[in-house]
């Protein structure tokens, strides 16, 4: 056991640089000054220890969350599996605005006096090498906590000894040039308990709710089977129980850095975006899961999934090295992690998400736009054929770039979606993913159902053999179910079920109905379900009012129509009005789910539909149609409107549309909407 000792942190750094840390720890109080002096004389940069110390403390973390994450990580690495880790706050600050003390306690094996001085207090020094269960080596380290707590205390007990380490700043104002430490022995605790408690005296008070939120954000996805993390007695890492593992991918060649595990879920504590974690501890929080042009299709799908309220968690194994701030994979590993993330996401989409009808019910127009592009690609024949039909090798070219055998010009294959190879590959896989439920009929064996890929459905459509389920039972035809969102979207995009002949005008829909407003609905013919239709307009009007107020736009008049502007679910009319196509099966299902059951996911989808049209409205007067419709400026505008709405609701500047839902539902006798045929008869296109 080390006797009472004291010194400066810069001295520990200095002796470590000169390889004399063990000698320093073993020396008595009289010998240490001579050792420090000798190291100073040998140093080529006299203030190098102070520079290292300052950079370690003040240049690693950008917020309080970084040091707290490091301390929780240390407690996790020290604790046995299934142990409890306690984070507590105490000591009211001036004015009672928060607590000025935070303690993090574990029941691990504790640290000896030598370990405190040689490992804990020396930057970039660790005892974790070779430990497969610990996370970092040479990260920001324990000393990063001194930025938020210039005074701290460590009490630790092993089976053989116990110590208290105290650290205080040298000087009056931060950034402090140095810190003084004092190490004193303690009596072993009764019962032989081991463990460590780190107590921080904060530079600024912390609110208890804010502390719980910060610990939950950095450690909320730690597996409770590994450790139960409590903040002031409340368990904060329960979010892991609300996600499920959906895919896995190797990191690096042959998985040299282990496997990335991808989880998905929604609910309390699961933000609708991508989180990168390492054994459950937060590494980065990404609003944009896949930046860069080479992942555009991935990005569109990830945004659609986030719009449905789902969060994705990419968990890294401890074998992946992180940068000093624990905010990303370091150097050589970063690209390998990104490739593994893209592969895991592709597997999730192809093997899981496309078959999760609850998820698909809430997606926004982004997924529909991806489907549009894939349908066009399948028609154009620009995608590569599936493995069963290998792509022929390119012809040999002559000096002019023509076919060397025939002399004919050779047109190079264009990648679909105007995208690099990675997107073409992913889009190819999506075209061949079995995602559509179809049925065929045989006079002898009856109905046979199977999942077909988009490419197969398009081939049946082009051959004139595709029909909607329920339109008969004839052999030789392929019947596509019309009850799930993905098939409904495809049927809308195909328009008619037989490929139209060239220059053949599209027949007018028998459900066609002109735009009708709330007042006209209330004063029109008596049709069953009109009360629910009026309630739907009231709800959509409240949503539009919130979007408009948050973005400083004028409110839009909300009307309903049927197939007046084609199969689109909503349309902007007269430059500023917004009309809802109530002949759309998806729109009807969303409205019934919201009005009948208060379904919040369906409500979120309606909000996204209005955001989509509001983006059109806000751009229509200032941009050409190509940009106002679906150009890059359009999607940027839509994302901006979404952010403004969320910010305004959070700040209390606008009323969350969800507040109006209970009253609207309370006044309804039923949520059933009028049948499209009845509406078309009651409100004909021509007055």
Class of residue 468 by CB neighbours under 10 A (exposed 0-12, middle 13-18, buried 19+): middle
CB atoms within 10 A of CB 284: 14
Region 659-670 average pLDDT = 86
pLDDT digits (tens, 9 = 90+) for 344-366: 998 888 777 766 666 666 654 55
Domain boundary among 346, 361, 376: 361
In which band, very low, low, confident or very high, does the pLDDT at 279 lie, cut at 50, 70 and 90? very high
| pLDDT at residue 129, rounded to an integer | 46
pLDDT digits (tens, 9 = 90+) for 579-614: 999 988 888 888 998 999 888 888 988 998 899 888
pLDDT digits (tens, 9 = 90+) for 297-350: 788 788 888 877 889 999 999 999 988 778 889 888 999 999 999 889 988 887
pLDDT digits (tens, 9 = 90+) for 465-481: 888 887 667 888 888 88
Q: What angle in degrees, to the nearest 10, is found between the helix axes of 600-620 and 530-551?
A: 60
* One domain for residues 573 and 468: no
In which band, very low, low, confident or very high, does the pLDDT at 248 lie, cut at 50, 70 and 90? very high
478-480 and 466-468 as β-strands: parallel, antiparallel, unpaired?
parallel
CA distance 126 to 143: 12
Domain boundary among 361, 389, 424: 361
Q: Which residue would you say has higher pLDDT here, 504 or 182?
A: 182
Q: Which residue would you say has higher pLDDT here, 230 or 678?
A: 230
pLDDT digits (tens, 9 = 90+) for 542-558: 999 999 999 998 899 99
pLDDT digits (tens, 9 = 90+) for 230-247: 999 999 999 988 999 999
Instruction: Answer yes or no: is 347 within a domain.
Output: yes
Instruction: Determine what percent of the chain is predicted with pLDDT higher than 70.
Output: 79
For residue 429, give both structure tokens. 């896989």
5-8 and 178-186 as β-strands: parallel, antiparallel, unpaired?
antiparallel
pLDDT digits (tens, 9 = 90+) for 131-158: 444 434 433 467 888 888 889 999 999 9
Which three-class secondary structure string do you get for 377-419?
HHHHCCCCCCCCCCCCCCCCECCCCEECCCCCECCCCCCHHHC
Provide the domain count of the chain.
4
Instruction: Answer yes or no: is 277 within a domain.
Output: yes
pLDDT digits (tens, 9 = 90+) for 68-94: 988 999 999 999 999 999 999 998 766
Instruction: Answer yes or no: is 370 within a domain.
Output: no
| pLDDT at residue 411, rounded to an integer | 53
CB atoms within 10 A of CB 67: 24
Residue 96 DSSP code: G
For residue 390, give both structure tokens. 């290998």
What CATH number is attached to the domain comprising 51?
3.30.565.10
Helix and strand element counts for the chain (H, E) = 22, 23
* One domain for residues 669 and 593: yes
Average pLDDT across the chain, whole number: 81
324: phi then psi, degrees, rounded to nearest 5? -60, -30
What is the b/e burial string over 564-581, where b = at least 16 CB atoms within 10 angstroms of the residue's CB? beebbbbbbbeebbbbbb
Instruction: Answer yes or no: is 39 within a domain.
Output: yes
What CATH number is attached to the domain comprising 343?
3.30.230
* One domain for residues 231 and 250: no
Q: Are 563 and 571 in contact (CB under 8 A)?
A: no
| pLDDT at residue 51, rounded to an integer | 83
* One domain for residues 524 and 571: yes
* One domain for residues 455 and 347: no
* One domain for residues 259 and 335: yes
Q: Which domain holds residue 546?
A: 513-682
Instruction: Answer yes or no: is 517 within a domain.
Output: yes
| pLDDT above 50 (res 100) | yes
In which band, very low, low, confident or very high, does the pLDDT at 226 lie, cut at 50, 70 and 90? very high
Domain boundary among 345, 361, 377: 361
| pLDDT at residue 268, rounded to an integer | 84
pLDDT digits (tens, 9 = 90+) for 12-26: 888 888 888 788 888
* One domain for residues 205 and 247: no
* One domain for residues 71 and 176: yes
* One domain for residues 107 and 197: yes
* One domain for residues 163 and 93: yes
pLDDT digits (tens, 9 = 90+) for 524-534: 888 888 999 99
pLDDT digits (tens, 9 = 90+) for 371-390: 666 666 666 554 444 444 44
| pLDDT above 60 (res 126) | no
72: phi then psi, degrees, rounded to nearest 5? -65, -40
* One domain for residues 529 and 627: yes
In which band, very low, low, confident or very high, does the pLDDT at 392 lie, cut at 50, 70 and 90? low
* One domain for residues 140 and 258: no
Instruction: Supply the pTM of this predicted model.
Output: 0.62
């Amino acid at each position: 056991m080390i006797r009472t000792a004291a010194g400066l942190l810069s001295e520990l750094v200095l002796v470590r640089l000169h390889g004399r840390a063990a000698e320093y720890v073993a020396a008595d109080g009289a010998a240490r000054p001579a050792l420090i002096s000798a190291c100073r004389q040998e140093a080529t940069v006299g203030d190098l220890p102070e520079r290292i110390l300052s950079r370690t403390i003040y240049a690693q973390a950008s917020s309080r969350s970084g040091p707290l994450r490091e301390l929780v990580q240390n407690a996790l690495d020290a604790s046995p599996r299934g142990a409890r880790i306690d984070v507590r706050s105490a000591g009211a600050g001036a004015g009672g605005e928060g607590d000025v003390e935070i303690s993090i306690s574990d029941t691990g094996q504790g640290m000896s006096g030598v370990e405190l001085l040689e490992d804990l207090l020396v930057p970039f020094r660790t005892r974790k090498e070779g430990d497969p269960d610990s996370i970092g080596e040479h990260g920001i380290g324990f000393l990063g906590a001194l930025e938020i707590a210039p005074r701290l205390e460590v009490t630790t007990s092993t089976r053989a000894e116990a110590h208290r380490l105290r650290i205080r700043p040298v000087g009056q104002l931060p950034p402090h040039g140095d810190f003084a430490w004092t190490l004193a022995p303690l009596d072993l605790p009764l019962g032989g308990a081991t463990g460590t408690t780190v107590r921080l005296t904060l530079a600024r008070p912390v609110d208890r709710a804010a502390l719980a939120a910060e610990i939950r954000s950095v450690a909320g996805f730690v597996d409770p089977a590994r450790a139960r993390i409590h903040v002031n007695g409340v368990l904060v890492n329960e979010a892991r129980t609300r996600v499920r593992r959906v895919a896995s991918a190797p990191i690096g060649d042959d998985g040299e850095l282990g496997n990335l595990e991808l989880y998905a879920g929604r609910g309390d504590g699961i933000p609708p975006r991508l989180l990168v974690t390492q054994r459950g501890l937060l590494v980065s929080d990404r609003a944009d899961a896949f930046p860069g042009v080479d992942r555009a299709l991935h990005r569109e799908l990830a945004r659609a999934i986030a719009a449905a309220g789902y969060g994705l968690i990419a968990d890294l194994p401890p074998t992946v090295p992180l940068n000093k701030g624990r905010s990303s994979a370091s150097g050589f590993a970063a690209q390998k992690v990104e490739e593994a993330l893209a592969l895991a996401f592709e597997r999730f989409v192809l093997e899981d998400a496309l078959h999760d009808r609850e998820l698909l019910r809430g997606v926004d127009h982004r997924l529909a736009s991806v489907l549009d592009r894939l349908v066009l690609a399948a028609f154009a024949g620009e995608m590569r054929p599936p493995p069963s039909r290998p792509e022929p090798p390119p012809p040999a070219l002559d000096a002019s770039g023509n076919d060397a055998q025939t002399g004919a010009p050779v047109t190079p294959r264009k990648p679909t979606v105007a995208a690099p190879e990675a997107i073409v590959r992913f889009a190819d896989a999506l075209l061949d993913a079995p995602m559509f439920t179809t049925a065929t009929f045989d006079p002898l064996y009856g109905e046979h159902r199977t999942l077909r890929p988009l490419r197969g459905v398009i081939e049946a459509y082009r051959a004139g053999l595709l029909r909607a389920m329920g339109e008969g039972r004839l052999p030789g035809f392929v019947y596509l179910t019309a009850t799930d969102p993905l098939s409904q979207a495809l049927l809308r995009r195909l328009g008619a079920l037989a490929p139209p002949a060239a220059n053949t005008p599209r027949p007018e829909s028998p459900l066609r109905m002109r735009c009708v407003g709330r007042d006209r609905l209330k004063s029109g013919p008596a049709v069953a379900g009109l009360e629910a239709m009026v309630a739907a307009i009231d709800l959509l009007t409240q949503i539009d009012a919130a979007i408009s107020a948050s973005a400083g736009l004028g409110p839009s008049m909300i009307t309903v129509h049927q197939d007046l502007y084609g199969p689109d679910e909503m349309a902007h009319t007269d430059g500023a009005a917004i009309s809802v196509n109530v002949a759309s099966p998806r729109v009807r299902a969303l409205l019934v789910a919201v009005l009948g059951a208060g379904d919040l996911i369906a409500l979120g989808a309606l909000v996204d539909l209005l955001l989509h049209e509001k983006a059109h409205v806000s751009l229509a007067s200032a941009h050409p149609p190509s940009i106002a419709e679906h150009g890059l400026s359009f999607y940027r505008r839509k994302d901006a409107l979404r952010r403004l709405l969320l910010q305004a609701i959070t700040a209390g500047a606008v009323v969350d549309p969800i507040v109006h839902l209970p009253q609207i539902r309370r006044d309804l006798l039923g949520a059933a909407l009028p049948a499209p045929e009845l509406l078309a008869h009651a409100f004909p296109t021509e007055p």
